[in-house]
A and B are shown apart, each in its own frame.
Chain A
Amino acid sequence: MNIETTTILDARGLNCPLPILKTKKALNSLESGDTLQLISSDPGSVKDIDAFCKQTGNELLQNSAESGEFTFIIRKS
Chain B
Amino acid sequence: MGNAATQVDPVMDRNLFNKWFDERMAQREADHVPSMTIIATKGTLDMAYPPFILASTAAALGWDVSVFFTFYGLNLLKKDLDLEISPLGNPAMPMKLPIGPDWLRDMNMNIPNIVMANLPGFEKMASSMMKKTMCDKGVATIEELRSICLEADVKLVACQMTVDLFSMEQKEFIPEIQDWIGAASFLPIAHRADVSLFI
Question: B-contacting residues of A (Cβ < 8 Å)?
Answer: 13-18, 20-21, 23-24, 41-42, 52, 55-56
Interface: B81 (CB within 8 A): no
Chain B interface extent, by class = 10 to 19
Which residues 25-74 of B sit at the A interface, judged by CB distance below 8 A? 53, 56-57, 60-62
Min CB distance B10 to A, Å, is 32
User: Any chain A CB within 8 A of the CB of B140?
Assistant: yes
Kindly supply a per-residue 1/0 record for chain B positions 138-165, scoring 1 wherever the CB is within 8 Å of any chain A CB and 0 otherwise: 1110000000100010000000000000
Asked whether A15 and B139 contact (CB < 8 A) given A21-B60, A55-B61, A56-B62, the answer is yes
B62 near A20: Cβ-Cβ < 8 Å? no
Number of A-B contacts (CB under 8 A): 36
Q: Give the 5 A-B residue pairs with the shortest CB-CB distance, closest first.
A: A24-B60, A15-B138, A17-B57, A14-B138, A13-B138
Interface residues of B in 95-116 (CB under 8 A from A): none
Q: State A24–B57 Cα separation when bound (angstroms).
A: 9
Contact between B138 and A55, CB atoms less than 8 A apart: no
Do B62 and A55 have beta carbons less than 8 Å apart? yes
State whether A56 and B61 are in contact (beta carbons under 8 Å apart), knowing that A17-B53, A17-B56 are contacts in the complex. yes
A21 pairs with B56, CB closer than 8 A: yes
Q: Could you say which of A18, A21, A24, A42 has the most chain B C-beta atoms within 10 Å of its C-beta? A: A21
User: Are B138 and A21 in touch, CB under 8 angstroms?
Assistant: no
Is the CB–CB distance between B138 and A52 below 8 Å?
Answer: no
A42 to B137, CA, bound (A): 10
Residues A52 and B60 in contact in the complex (CB < 8 Å), given A16-B53, A17-B53, A21-B148: yes
CB-based contact B57/A20 at 8 Å = yes
- Please give the distance in Å from B143's CB to the nearest CB on chain A: 13
